[in-house]
Every structure is written in C-alpha cells, then in structure tokens.
Amino acid sequence: MSEKLTVERELLSPPGDDILESIQHIKMSQAELADRLGKTPSKVNDLITGKEPITYNTALQLEKVLSIDAQFWLNREMNYRTKLARLEQEEVLEEDKEWLAQQPVKELKKCGYIKAEKPGATMVRETLEFYGVVNTDKWESRYINDFATAAYRKSEAHQATLGSMAAWLRMGEKEMQKMQLPEYNKDVFRSTLEEIKILVPEQPVDFAKQLQQKCAKAGVAVVYTLCLPKAPVSGASRWFRTNPLIQLTDRHKTNDHFWFTFYHEAAHVLLHAKKEVFFEEFEGYKPDKQKEEEANAFAAKYLLPEGFEDELPFKIMDEDVEAVAKKYKTHPGIVVGRLQHNGLVKYSFGNKHKAKVDLFNTII
C-alpha cells in the first residue's frame, strides 16, 4: 500500500468517534450506554470502533439516549462507509497497477479516455471506467476470453497486443453508443449493400459518413477508430447488445483495402453466428478458415465479378484497368488491388489508380 493510502486510512474517522466523544462529554460510560440502548457492551464497542454499522434502528435509539438527531448518525455512517469503500477500492487498484503495462495508455490518454499522468490507482480506475467493468478479472472475461484462444492468452509475448486489441474493441463500442439505431433488419441490410456499391466508383469526399448513415438505417453500426500500434487490424465485426457492429480503420490508407474489408465484415454479419467476433488481419488470431473464405468470396463478388481477369491481355496496361472498372462500375483502384492480390501484376503497378482513405480527416 502506498504511503498516501496508509495515511488516509489512519485519518479515517468512524462515526463511533462521535459516539465516544458524546458520552465522554456527559461522563457516561460505555457500559451505561449499552444498558440504556438495550445492547451488550461488546455490541456498543463494535459500534464505537466501526466494526458494527449504525442502522436506522440504532440511529433512532441513539437519538433517544443522546438527544442527537437520527439523521446525523445516518449521514455520518453513510459518509464513513462510502469513504471506507473508496479507500479499500483504491488499495485494490494500487495493487493492479502492473495491469496497465498491457494497456495502450499513451493512446488512451491521447484520445481523452484517461487523464492520469502516472501509473497508479487513479489510472487503473480511469482505465476500468473506460472499459465499463469493475475489476481486471471482469476486463479479461469480457474483452480477452471472448476473442482469444486459451493458448493465445497464455502467451506472455501477446499480452500487450491483446490489451491493445481490447482497447480498440472498446473504442468501437463507445462510438456505437453515440448512435441511435433501429432494430436490425437483415433484408434491409442486404439491399443497403447494393446501394453502397454506388459509393465505390464515385469515392465521394464524404463516403465514410454516407456509409455510416446507410448502414444505420438497417440497424447496423459502422464505426471508425484509430489503428492502435500494437493492434494492427483493418476491421472487425461482432454483435454488441442488440445490433451488429462493424468497426473499421484506415490502416492501409487506400480504397481497395477499405472497401474489401467493409464487405468482408458485412458478410460475417449476414452469414455467421451472433456470438462470434471476426477480425481482419489480426496477427496471432486464428479464424475459422471456412468462414473467412466465405466472407472473402462475398466481398470479392460485390466489388468485381469472378473471372474478370480473363478479359485482360497478357501485358496489362493502365487503360485496361480503366476499361474493366468502367465496365463493371467499380473504381480502378479496386481493379488494381485485385490484380495485385491475385499476383497478376506487381505491387508497384497501378497504385496511382487507388484513392487515398484518411477517415479522420473526412469524418471528424
């Protein structure tokens, strides 16, 4: 325990101090007080030392015997117990300060979620408040056990990564809580995905805001959060309470990655179980291979039809990319990204066709 907490505990005065002062003032012994209250001397001693709380009954009894209003005793008791509980909690939090090593403290401070300057009880408390949990055990059960396998959790090397991932997930939840969403409608969401395809070739300046608004009408939250250094992930999807949540970053800064990630996560919402959490490009995470392949196929189909490469010449030129994009009503950057991914062109080819994605200069 820190010296500060030790001093605070020593200075904490139980309401029994006022009982003792009151009976000493009128030269009444504890034995006489016990007799007048109808309690045993040991019970009265427990009241004076703070071991026994002052109940409504006891407060009324003290009012009769000492002529001091019952409300005074009740207020004194409540204030004492509140301060004692806070002090005991601070002591526990102080013991948990090593847990902060798993947390992206610098980023949480930068985003305004925590304000404490140094690791300690205050910073632990603020971090737990950020997660909305009472202790580090609850943090682990809600933000680690749900998405990391037992083998992965036991790896010391991955603790900081898991802490950053947990923080990233929570940031998404907090962004979602700012939104007013109707009940999720699967059919509306399917039709919304068709509408959204219009945004892909146009890539308007406010595409991110439009995407959020369109999905929100179907009861799907699309939120954008910073990509934390130790949680390099492009996106994730899961259900949070009663609605699906698609959380995206601008990690790769290009529209081909952004749109593929969005449609990939949308596929998980439509095709897979509510209780699962799906991550895109999270190193160390072991996804369900079949479900990932289904989501990849879903995203690919929405952005470009299978077999489009057969229409291209052996030596692909810029004009070929533009022709394919025009024919299939998509963005040239999407075409380049697919060609690069399929190994049909070098990763140095055609990047000028890709549109830059900087979410935090377009929506914030």
10: CATH:
1.10.260.40
| 329, 247: one domain | yes
Judge whether 170 lies within some domain. Answer: no
| 213, 314: one domain | yes
Give pLDDT, residue 151: 40
Q: Which of 336, 364, 227, 329 is nearest to 283 (CA)?
A: 227
Judge whether 231 lies within some domain. Answer: yes
User: What are residue 356's DSSP bridge partners?
Assistant: 254
Task: Output phi, psi for 235, to 5 deg.
Answer: -175, 170
| 258, 337: one domain | yes
| 273, 327: one domain | yes
| 273, 340: one domain | yes
Give pLDDT, residue 28: 95
Task: List per-residue pLDDT tens for the chain, 364 residues long.
Answer: 567 767 778 789 999 999 999 999 999 999 999 999 999 999 999 999 999 999 999 999 999 999 999 999 999 999 999 999 888 888 878 888 899 998 999 999 999 999 999 998 899 999 999 999 999 999 998 888 866 554 444 455 566 688 888 999 999 999 999 999 999 999 999 999 999 999 999 999 999 999 999 999 999 999 999 988 888 889 999 999 999 999 999 989 999 999 999 999 999 999 998 888 888 766 666 677 899 899 999 999 999 988 888 888 889 999 999 999 999 999 999 999 999 999 999 999 999 999 999 998 643 3
Ranges of H-type helices in 67-183: 70-95, 105-110, 121-131, 136-143, 150-153, 159-176
| 60, 112: one domain | no
| 210, 343: one domain | yes
Residue 194: count other Cβ atoms within 10 Å of its Cβ: 9
| Boundary (domain end) residue, out of 48, 67, 95 | 95
| Boundary (domain end) residue, out of 55, 71, 95 | 95
Give pLDDT, residue 351: 94
Judge whether 168 lies within some domain. Answer: no
Strand locations in the chain (E):
221-224, 235-240, 243-248, 278-280
Give pLDDT, residue 300: 92
| 229, 322: one domain | yes
The structure tokens listed for 228 are 């934390």
| 226, 153: one domain | no
- Residue 112's region, left for phi above 0, alpha for psi from -120 to 50, else beta, is left
| 148, 252: one domain | no
| 124, 267: one domain | no
Stated pTM of the model: 0.82
Q: 68 lies in which domain range?
A: 3-95
How many structural domains comprise the chain? 3
| 219, 74: one domain | no
Judge whether 158 lies within some domain. Answer: yes
| Boundary (domain end) residue, out of 42, 73, 95 | 95
Strand 221-224 to 235-240 pairing: unpaired
Give pLDDT, residue 153: 46
Q: Which of 20, 58, 13, 60 is nearest to 39 (CA)?
A: 58
Judge whether 174 lies within some domain. Answer: no
